[in-house]
Amino acid sequence: MENWINELKSSLKNTMKEILYPLAAIVISFIAGAILVYAFGKSPITAYKALFFGALGDWNKIGETLVTTTTLILTGLSVAFAFRCGLFNIGAEGQFIMGGVAALWAGWALSGLPPILHVTVTLLAGALAGGIWAGIVGWLKAKVGSHEVINSIMMNYIAMNLSNYLIMTVFNEPDKAFSYEIAPTAKLWRFAESFVQFKYSRLHTGIIIALIVALIAYYILNKTIRGYEIRAVGFNPSASEYGGINVNRNIILAMVISGLFSGLAGGIQTAGVQYRVNNLFGFTGYGFDGISVALVGNNHPIGVILSGVLFGALQKGGPMMQIEGIPKEVVGIIQGIIILFVASNFVRVMVQKYKENKEIKAQVAKGEVK
């Protein structure tokens, strides 16, 4: 019994430590943002107040924040899942775009299906397109050995141009820079239909799907043999190979699963938020934000949910800051600084250095080291 309690205590302690470092990085980044705002003669308090109320001020704002959070949880999971296999999926953006287009196709071409089935098929089409798009990168990495980062960057641009081509030709709403709308049966249910609190928000069932997918990702990674193999490959590919794990197969599999998540995010964007796909002049940014979300969430599905909420709130609160006369780009700056701190393990390295210095000083004081 006591053993069990001690174990729980130490695991809680470890979790706290894991949370503490990203949290410290976030706090430092917010302070840096405050200094920047202050340097241009504006009040950081006004800025952050606007940010907070813009994101969580009332039910509708919370709803809108959760809409963004839904997408960010999924792209974050996508990046995190690949990371656990030692792969950097910078291509979440392209997979997201392909997912959106595929869902558009399914949402329009398959109309006539019963509502629930149609939505399901639409989302699956999105996920599948993302999975295939990422699978190509995984396959190239496994078979030819070409680097996944370079290929997925290239695939992002190819996806954007392919999507634009399709939107402006086959799927085009005449004379418009966007596609036609999907069938009503392919649309995700919105909370506004039953809850008056969310009347002016686009909050839809996608948030529940995202949470379930996070649990699935957790289950696959931590409770299945396949997940164990994927993590083993991420930890040490040579040792895994030696231990009888098929490294190449796991690389492809991890990329495909990662792509499924981003593709699903794109599908949900089409079926739940926009109902159509726009001609893109630049990237949506959701895929790249997934990198921040995954990093701050420590590549853990539960961490990804928490950081998805954080970044969703940051993005939705930004425009309110704009109204207060503070450019919403402060949010992007804070986000960039957070990634720099988390990626470099800045806080951890500094704490370690401080401790080491203290030890050395203590030893010098004792006369052990000269």
Partner 1 sequence: MLSIISILVASTIRSATPLIFPALGGTFSERSGVVNIGLDGMMAVGAFSAVLVSYKTGSPLLGLFGAMIIGGLFGWLLAFLSIHFKANQVVVGTAINILAGSLTTFLLVEIWGKPGQTDNVNYFTPWGPFNMFTYLALILVLVSYYVLYKTPFGLRIRAVGEHPRAADTLGVNVYMMRYICVILSGILAGIGGASLSIGSISLFKEGMVAGKGFIALAAMIFGKWHPIGAALACLFFGLADAIQTISMSYGLNVPKEFLFALPYMLTMLAVSGLVGKATAPAADGIPYEKGEK
H or E stretch at 84:
helix 59-84
Quickly tell me which residue has 């001020």 as its tokens.
Answer: 57
**Nearest CB to partner 1, comparing residues 142 and 213:** 142
**Nearest CB to partner 1, comparing residues 145 and 174:** 145
| Cα distances (angstroms) measured from residue 219 to each of 198, 228, 229 | 32, 11, 13
Give SS3 for 296: helix
Residues in contact with partner 1, shown as a per-residue x/- string from 268 to 297 under the rule CB under 8 A: -------------xx-----x--xx--x--
Q: Of 26, 155, 186, 251, which lies in the binding site for partner 1, with binding defined by CB under 8 A?
A: 155
Q: Per rule CB under 8 A, is residue 165 in the interface with partner 1? A: yes
Quickly tell me which residue has 């701050």 as its tokens.
Answer: 296
For residue 133, the minimal CB distance to partner 1 (Å) is 12
Q: Per rule CB under 8 A, is residue 178 in the interface with partner 1? A: no
> Rounded distance, CA 73 to CA 83, Å?
15
Give SS3 for 278: strand
Q: Per rule CB under 8 A, is residue 179 in the interface with partner 1? A: no
Number of residues that bind partner 1 (CB under 8 A): 44
**Nearest CB to partner 1, comparing residues 146 and 224:** 146
Site for partner 1, residues 339 to 358, rule: CB under 8 A:
339-340, 343-346, 349
Please state the length of the chain: 370
Q: Per rule CB under 8 A, is residue 332 in the interface with partner 1? A: yes
**Nearest CB to partner 1, comparing residues 28 and 153:** 153
Q: Per rule CB under 8 A, is residue 50 in the interface with partner 1? A: no
> Rounded distance, CA 204 to CA 198, Å?
10
Q: Would you say 98 and 163 are in contact if contact means Cβ atoms under 8 Å apart?
A: yes
> Rounded distance, CA 325 to CA 280, Å?
28
Q: Would you say 308 and 76 are in contact if contact means Cβ atoms under 8 Å apart?
A: yes
Site for partner 1, residues 208 to 237, rule: CB under 8 A:
none
Nearest to 303 by CA among 342, 351, 276: 342
Site for partner 1, residues 72 to 101, rule: CB under 8 A:
88, 90
> Rounded distance, CA 356 to CA 165, Å?
58
Q: Per rule CB under 8 A, is residue 157 in the interface with partner 1? A: yes
Position 71, amino acid: T
**Nearest CB to partner 1, comparing residues 180 and 346:** 346
Q: Which residues bind partner 1 (CB under 8 A)?
A: 36, 40, 88, 90, 140, 144, 146-147, 149-151, 153-155, 157-158, 161-162, 164-165, 168-169, 281-282, 288, 291-292, 295, 327, 329-333, 335-337, 339-340, 343-346, 349
